[in-house]
A and B are shown apart, each in its own frame.
Chain A
Amino acid sequence: MTTVTEAPPLAPTPVEEPRRPRRRGRHVPYWLLLPGILWLLVFFALPMVYQASTSVQTGSLEEGYKVTWHFATYWDALSEYWPQFLRSVLYAGVATVLCLLLGYPLAYLIAFRAGRWRNVILVLVIAPFFTSFLIRTLAWKTILADGGPVVGALSTLHVLDVTSWLGITAGERVLATPLAVVCGLTYNFLPFMILPLYTSLERIDGRLHEAAGDLYAKPFTAFRKVTFPLSMPGVVSGTLLTFIPASGDYVNADLLGSTDTRMVGNVIQTQFLRILDYPTAAALSFILMAAILVMVTLYIRKSGTEDLV
């Protein structure tokens, strides 16, 4: 990518060039960046500092808060809310795996098998976005309603006996159980898995399949050895785009779950907006952020794809 507008260092040319535009051009990128970057610094980065500061403050709403470097808040928050933390990681993890298992066939279908239906299916994948996700999540209350057709079918097939034994449903109910929450999370973040998968599958040269077939690879072997490895960038960014928002979500756990399915997002929301215990809420949010950053960094390093940006 070399362009004329690009600032130095370019090799000095023997011809004397007009100097002024280039010198003026040196400041252009900074002026272009300034407003947006300032916005992100003030309303994204600075709040992180304030959050860190709030988490080590003590005081009360009436008397105001002071920074007292009270790190015990972190310990207290963790020892009280570790089940919610664990649940968040677990639910988000299971939802991510389910999204991958459900999303891969659809992405594959759009990329290789849809033919002239490709654009129609793509629109149908994106279309649900146009209805507010809260309304769509509420629709799951109807779908999974007690005594409804879905619960009835699962009960007749004795699926509910198995899931109850596993502890993810309760008796003849699906609503207000972990199964409902994971189902909602999977549903809500599925498009974020499908679209990156589709993008990386679509880039694969179709002749590679033919070559694999010519070399006597069975279709599944060709998939395992050729298609899947080549779709890894999509798998990595898809899992990240699913896991990160799912781990901080509190909408599904609130609308489809019960007090036994509360995730860390629910705790942060309640502490901040109802109980008004700002230091604990800030500490929990800080721990969540740190945990996500560590997990994402390890994951990206392990999967070896660093050009996600």
Chain B
Amino acid sequence: MSLGSFGRSIRRNLVVIAGLLTLAYLLLPNIVVTVFSFNDPKGRFNYEWQKFSTDAWTDPCGVADLCGSLALSLQIAAWATLGATVLGTMIAFALVRYRFRARGAVNSLIFMPMAMPEVVMAASLLTLFLNMGTPLGFWTILIAHIMFCLSFVVTAVKARVMSMDPRLEQAAQDLYAGPFQTFIRVTLPIAAPGIAAGALLAFALSFDDFIITNFNAGSTVTFPMFVWGSAQRGTPVQINVIGTAMFLVAVLCVLAGMMVGRRSRQKA
């Protein structure tokens, strides 16, 4: 009997072991990025370990154009998030709350950008800009980012609004709240987590986008474009510093969010 339970526990732990190995595979590059942010490479490329140094951490903007590209990426991501969140939330409300003609067509138009390889969207958008004679740069990047973030925001907000209890709004209206007041006081606060999730997703997608930006940026250099270029010219250690810093900030934000969530749940 003990042999059987031993075998079963091995078999059960096999899933755990396999899962943890996959997790290690997922995290290994991040560990390498962090470790190599303390490297002092010999040549132009930061691929081989030489010796420990904190030079890059004390001078993160020491490479020409690096922090400029980072600022540009943050700026584009902020505007793209705003645009995609507003437009996407409006679409999500229309889809959940109303019946209208061409609903199926609208749904497929939302679904299509998510089911399309990025390179196809990138290339076709570039043909539009080329045919129109639009100069490539900040605005074409922003247009492209809002376009591909939109569908993800719609999906996130839709999921939340669909699970809302419509009786809450009916109650508000029974208590003589006008449509506008109902929306601001009841609907929006309930939908907020979905909108926030959509906005976060849009920010992350826009900030890290490379393929669509690569096609439609012209000579404008966003942070991913800078990294891509550095893979050809030489990778400064500062890239790893920024990668590590972004990782730490994001993980801290998530942990803080979880703590706040737990505390407010305890209060309630």
List chain A positions with a Cβ less than 8 A from chain B: 1-7, 21, 28-30, 32-33, 35-37, 39-41, 43-48, 50-51, 53-54, 102-103, 105-110, 113, 119, 121, 123-143, 145, 187, 190-191, 194, 219-220, 240, 244-245, 247-251, 255, 265, 268-269, 272-273, 278, 281-282, 285, 288-289, 292-293, 296, 308-309
For residue B257, give the distance in angstroms from its CB to the closest CB of chain A: 10
A-B contact pairs, 11 of them (CB 8 A): A1-B166, A40-B150, A44-B113, A44-B147, A54-B130, A102-B18, A123-B258, A127-B254, A187-B25, A278-B130, A289-B116
Please determine whether B240 and A135 come into contact, CB atoms closer than 8 angstroms.
Answer: yes
Tell me how many residues of B have a C-beta within 8 Å of chain A. Answer: 92
B208 cross-chain contacts in A, Cβ below 8 A: 129, 132-133
Known: A107-B19, A134-B224. 7 other contacts (CB 8 A): A4-B170, A30-B94, A37-B91, A43-B147, A145-B48, A244-B115, A292-B115
Please determine whether A123 and B117 come into contact, CB atoms closer than 8 angstroms.
Answer: no
**B64 interface contact, C-beta 8 A:** no
For residue A74, give the distance in angstroms from its CB to the closest CB of chain B: 15
Please determine whether A248 and B117 come into contact, CB atoms closer than 8 angstroms.
Answer: yes
Please determine whether B128 and A3 come into contact, CB atoms closer than 8 angstroms.
Answer: no
B28 cross-chain contacts in A, Cβ below 8 A: 139, 143
**B50 interface contact, C-beta 8 A:** no
List chain B positions with a Cβ less than 8 A from chain A: 8, 11-12, 15-16, 18-20, 22-23, 25-30, 32-33, 36, 47-48, 87-88, 90-91, 93-94, 96-100, 106-107, 109-113, 115-121, 123-128, 130-131, 143-144, 146-147, 150-151, 154-155, 162, 166, 169-170, 173, 179, 204, 208, 210-211, 214-215, 223-224, 227-228, 231, 235, 239-240, 243-244, 246-247, 249-251, 254-255, 258
B interface, over-half SS = helix
Please determine whether A139 and B36 come into contact, CB atoms closer than 8 angstroms.
Answer: yes
Question: In the bound complex, how far is the Cα of B28 from the Cα of A141, in angstroms?
Answer: 12
B111 cross-chain contacts in A, Cβ below 8 A: 308-309
Please determine whether B26 and A124 come into contact, CB atoms closer than 8 angstroms.
Answer: yes
With contacts A50-B128, A285-B120 taken as known, whether A130 is within 8 angstroms of B204 at the C-beta atoms is: yes
Please determine whether B32 and A269 come into contact, CB atoms closer than 8 angstroms.
Answer: no
Partner of B125, one of A2, A47, A265, A293: A47
A113 cross-chain contacts in B, Cβ below 8 A: 12, 15-16, 19
Please determine whether A132 and B223 come into contact, CB atoms closer than 8 angstroms.
Answer: yes
For residue B131, give the distance in angstroms from its CB to the closest CB of chain A: 5
B87 cross-chain contacts in A, Cβ below 8 A: 35-36, 39
A131 cross-chain contacts in B, Cβ below 8 A: 30, 33, 243-244, 246-247
Please determine whether B26 and A51 come into contact, CB atoms closer than 8 angstroms.
Answer: no
Question: In the bound complex, how far is the Cα of B23 from the Cα of A106, in angstroms?
Answer: 7
A245 cross-chain contacts in B, Cβ below 8 A: 117-118
Please determine whether A248 and B118 come into contact, CB atoms closer than 8 angstroms.
Answer: yes
For residue B239, give the distance in angstroms from its CB to the closest CB of chain A: 6
For residue A49, give the distance in angstroms from its CB to the closest CB of chain B: 9
A39 cross-chain contacts in B, Cβ below 8 A: 87, 146-147, 150
Question: In the bound complex, how far is the Cα of B98 from the Cα of A233, in angstroms?
Answer: 27
Please determine whether B214 and A273 come into contact, CB atoms closer than 8 angstroms.
Answer: yes
